[in-house]
């Protein structure tokens, strides 16, 4: 079928499609004329026009990166790597090799100058020592311990006078080199069970009213460790006075934490078993066993929902802990008023997908992406039909970046809450993100990139329209495509068209020459539906598209008997 000579657009068999606004990425079967069924390296920067993403600036390369964090905030950009690579910690590009870290995912938080790494339970202090002014250059274990034999255990409590004494004594033990006043310690290995500290690690654990659940250092000297012992009711605990020939371990013990965050000068963590949420002593990320009944005590709570924790974040005035099917809020500012008043269904399946933007939490659940502000989670990804199993996310302060993955690889999806639109960038496998001085940085296993950075990266981009049927059952075909483009010097755009389920055919190419309208003739072919595709290189903005079509005659519908 051949097209008659081009004439007036008012001809009765002429129809046109006008795309004057672009509404982002939509994978659904039937979508709006202004939505794109497929795209690559596009962004919401020029909405309502369509434009490619900004270049990414390459910062540094390093093999085996598995996690990233930001060092202390200073003016300027991030120009070196701080995080974990090949099982070692790096600080500002220098490796710290005294401790090799475990395999697997890390949760890294900065607590008052201490970069704490879980589940390894190690830390790196980057601030000067308050006494010497020196800055350390090695990882240290968050927990500390000493083992003594033939130690003397003694305690007494005069209920009338209130005088209380409890201590462990061992000549030359050098307690003061390991412990300081206020440290909460765990005592184990005693021949008298009454002298051991009873640690709650599971719902199956139980402490009687007289068992010691907390031992806090009151004074430390070379040979004597004075303690305040407490029971689960907050009353003083007592040793069985003895000299113990066993090898007794005294340690600062850190719970097994899978995910951690910092909130109100406490380190909060989720237990690896999924049964507990922990909070450190106020101002002290190394003490989780101080239970003296004071406002600065540490705290823990048993959680009754099924499954392991998948993430934890500080959010407004609360801490929010996620499981794959539940959300738990922890309110309060001290053990006396900490509470978990409710649980909400609809959790996160990947803790690295959780990011706060504009006072709202965004994350990936089992069936898509959600926003959460304290009520019921609201799904924001009805237009995304692909199922993903992993997600690492970050934010530049305006958009939510989600590198979502499944067995087919990864896709970098970007949600702009201002327009409630999704765009798709590329397939770079980002394993972590960090925001530093208002800039977003993405990390692959080998490289760090600054988003919207200064770079000469040449962006290849693409958008694909919906299947246009003109909402009728007549044959139709494309005659001409008009495009209003703003092309930067050196940029170019190729135009393709496709009929029904056929492959795209090349129609023409436009070179960059500023803001103007371009006319692209299209070889006519009758069809029931058609699509157009733009492939570009370089910076550009697609302002408007007008598609001139001719229609006539009914399509070859399949007869059903």
Provide CB contacts within 8 A for 198, sequence distance 6+: 205, 207, 211, 212, 213
Residue 133 lies in a domain: no
Residue 204 lies in a domain: yes
Which residue is it, tokens 């500023």? 514
Residue 472 lies in a domain: yes
Q: Which long-range contacts (CB under 8 A, 24 or more apart) does 264-267 make?
A: 264/333, 265/112, 267/109, 267/111, 267/116
Assess contact for 398 and 318: CB atoms under 8 A: no
What is the three-state SS of 502-560? CCCEEEEEEECCEEEEEEEECCCCCECCEEEEEEEECCEEEEEEEEEEEEEEECCCCCC
Residue 92 lies in a domain: no
Distance between CA atoms of 377 and 441, rounded to whole angstroms? Answer: 27
Q: What is the pLDDT of residues 444-474, one digit of tens each?
A: 999 999 998 788 899 999 999 999 999 889 8
- Residue 129: the pLDDT is 76
Reply yes or no: is the peptide bond before residue 39 cis, omega within 30 of 0.
no
- Residue 12: the pLDDT is 55
Residue 402 lies in a domain: yes
| H-helix or E-strand spanning residue 262 | strand 257-263
Distance between CA atoms of 191 and 246, rounded to whole angstroms? Answer: 6
Q: For the domain that residue 174 is a member of, what is the CATH number?
A: 2.40.30
398 and 284 in one domain?
Answer: yes
Q: What is the pLDDT of residues 318-351, one digit of tens each?
A: 999 999 999 999 999 999 999 998 788 889 999 9
Domains contained in the chain, number:
3
285 and 227 in one domain?
Answer: no
For residue 60, how far is the Cα from the chain centroid? 21
The pairing of strands 164-169 and 151-157 is antiparallel
DSSP 418-463: TTTEEEE-------EEEEETTEEEEE-SSEEEEET-S--PPPEEEE
pLDDT band at residue 206, thresholds of 50, 70 and 90?
A: low
434 and 481 in one domain?
Answer: no
Q: What is the pLDDT of residues 142-152, one digit of tens each?
A: 998 999 999 99
160 and 148 in one domain?
Answer: yes
φ, ψ for residue 264 (rounded to 5)? 50, 45
The pairing of strands 460-464 and 38-40 is antiparallel
Mean pLDDT of 277-301: 90
Mean pLDDT of 219-227: 95
Task: Record the tokens describing residue 97, joined without a space.
Answer: 């090799």
Other C-beta atoms closer than 10 Å to the C-beta of 429 total 15
Provide CB contacts within 8 A for 560, sequence distance 6+: none
User: By three-state DSSP, how is residue 352 classified?
Assistant: helix
Residue 277 lies in a domain: yes
301 and 413 in one domain?
Answer: yes
pLDDT band at residue 54, thresholds of 50, 70 and 90?
A: very high
Residue 24 lies in a domain: yes
Examine the fold and report which residue of 451, 467, 493 is the final residue of a domain before the chain moves on.
451
269 and 418 in one domain?
Answer: yes
Residue 325 lies in a domain: yes
Residues of the chain with pLDDT > 90, as a percent, come to 75
Instruction: Decide if pLDDT at 425 tops 60.
Output: yes
- Residue 4: the pLDDT is 47
Mean pLDDT of 4-23: 71
Instruction: Decide if pLDDT at 561 tops 70.
Output: no
Task: Record the tokens describing residue 330, joined without a space.
Answer: 């922890």
506 and 414 in one domain?
Answer: no
Q: What is the pLDDT of residues 154-192, one digit of tens each?
A: 999 988 888 999 999 999 999 999 998 888 899 999 999
Range of the domain at 341: 56-67+258-451
pLDDT band at residue 202, thresholds of 50, 70 and 90?
A: low
Q: For the domain that residue 273 is a member of, what is the CATH number?
A: 2.130.10.10
439 and 355 in one domain?
Answer: yes
| H-helix or E-strand spanning residue 330 | strand 326-330
For the chain, helix (H) and strand (E) counts, in that order, are 0, 47
Q: For the domain that residue 534 is a member of, what is the CATH number?
A: 2.60.120.260
Examine the fold and report which residue of 193, 227, 252 is the final residue of a domain before the chain moves on.
252
Examine the fold and report which residue of 234, 252, 270 is the final residue of a domain before the chain moves on.
252
Reply yes or no: is the peptide bond before residue 486 cis, omega within 30 of 0.
no
389 and 266 in one domain?
Answer: yes
Q: What is the pLDDT of residues 402-413, one digit of tens each?
A: 999 999 999 999
- Residue 290: the pLDDT is 82
Mean pLDDT of 481-487: 96
Instruction: Among 1-15, 139-153, 418-432, name the one with the lowest average pLDDT.
Output: 1-15
Q: What is the pLDDT of residues 79-92, one digit of tens each?
A: 999 999 999 999 99
Residues of the chain with pLDDT > 70, as a percent, come to 95
Other C-beta atoms closer than 10 Å to the C-beta of 224 total 17
By C-alpha distance, which of 377, 371, 375, 376 is closest to 395? 371
340 and 424 in one domain?
Answer: yes
pLDDT band at residue 218, thresholds of 50, 70 and 90?
A: very high
The whole-chain average pLDDT of the chain stands at 91
Distance between CA atoms of 509 and 511, rounded to whole angstroms? Answer: 7
Distance between CA atoms of 28 and 383, rounded to whole angstroms? Answer: 6
Distance between CA atoms of 418 and 99, rounded to whole angstroms? Answer: 45
Instruction: Decide if pLDDT at 492 tops 50.
Output: yes
pLDDT band at residue 119, thresholds of 50, 70 and 90?
A: very high
283 and 248 in one domain?
Answer: no
468 and 441 in one domain?
Answer: no
By C-alpha distance, which of 420, 424, 419, 373 is closest to 402? 424
């Amino acid at each position: 079928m051949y097209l008659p000579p081009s004439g007036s657009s008012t001809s009765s068999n002429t129809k046109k499609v006008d795309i004057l606004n672009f509404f982002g990425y939509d994978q659904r079967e039937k979508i709006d004329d202004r939505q794109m069924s497929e795209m690559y390296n596009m962004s919401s920067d020029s909405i309502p026009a369509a434009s490619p993403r900004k270049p990414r600036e390459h910062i540094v390369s390093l093999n085996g990166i598995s996690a990233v964090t930001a060092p202390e905030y200073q003016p300027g950009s991030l120009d070196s790597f701080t995080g974990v690579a090949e099982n070692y910690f790096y600080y500002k590009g220098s490796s710290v090799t005294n401790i090799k870290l475990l395999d697997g995912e890390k949760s890294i938080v900065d607590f008052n100058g201490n970069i704490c790494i879980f589940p390894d339970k190690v830390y790196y202090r980057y601030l000067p020592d308050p006494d010497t002014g020196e800055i350390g250059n090695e990882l240290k274990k968050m927990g500390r311990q000493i083992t003594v034999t033939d130690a003397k255990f003694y305690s007494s409590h005069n209920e009338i006078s209130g005088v209380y004494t409890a201590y462990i004594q061992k000549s030359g033990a050098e307690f003061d080199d390991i412990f300081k006043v206020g440290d909460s310690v765990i005592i184990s290995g005693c021949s008298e069970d009454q002298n051991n500290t009873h640690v709650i690690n599971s719902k199956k654990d139980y402490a009687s009213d007289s068992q010691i659940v907390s031992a806090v250092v009151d004074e430390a000297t070379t040979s004597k460790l004075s303690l305040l012992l407490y029971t689960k009711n907050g009353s003083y605990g007592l040793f069985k006075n003895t000299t113990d020939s066993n090898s007794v371990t005294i340690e600062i013990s850190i719970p097994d934490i899978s995910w951690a965050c910092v909130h109100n000068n406490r380190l909060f963590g989720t237990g690896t078993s999924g049964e507990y949420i922990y909070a450190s002593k106020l101002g002290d990320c190394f003490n989780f066993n101080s239970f003296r009944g004071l406002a600065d005590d540490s705290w823990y709570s048993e959680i009754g929902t099924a499954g392991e924790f998948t993430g934890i974040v500080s959010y407004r005035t609360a801490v929010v802990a996620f499981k794959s099917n539940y959300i738990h809020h922890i309110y309060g500012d001290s053990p006396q008023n900490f509470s978990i008043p409710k649980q909400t269904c609809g959790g996160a399946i990947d803790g690295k997908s959780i990011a706060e933007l504009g006072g709202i939490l965004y994350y990936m659940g089992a069936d898509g992406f959600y926003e959460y502000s304290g009520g019921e989670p609201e799904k924001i990804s009805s237009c995304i039909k692909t199922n993903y199993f992993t997600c690492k996310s970050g934010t530049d302060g305006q958009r939510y970046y989600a590198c979502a993955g499944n067995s087919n690889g990864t896709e970098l999806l970007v949600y702009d809450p201002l327009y409630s639109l999704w765009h798709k960038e590329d397939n770079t496998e980002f394993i972590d993100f960090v925001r530093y001085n208002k800039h977003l940085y993405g990390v692959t296993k080998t490289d760090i990139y600054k988003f919207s950075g200064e770079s000469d990266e040449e962006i290849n981009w693409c958008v694909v329209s919906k299947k246009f049927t003109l909402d009728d059952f007549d044959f139709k075909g494309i005659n001409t495509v008009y495009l209003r483009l703003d092309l930067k010097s050196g940029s170019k755009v190729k135009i393709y068209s496709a009929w029904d389920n056929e492959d795209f055919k090349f129609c023409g190419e436009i070179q960059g020459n500023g803001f103007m309208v371009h006319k692209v003739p299209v070889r006519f072919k009758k069809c029931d539906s058609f699509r157009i595709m733009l492939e570009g290189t370089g910076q550009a903005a697609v302002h408007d598209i007008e598609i001139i079509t001719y229609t006539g005659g009914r399509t070859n519908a399949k007869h059903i008997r």
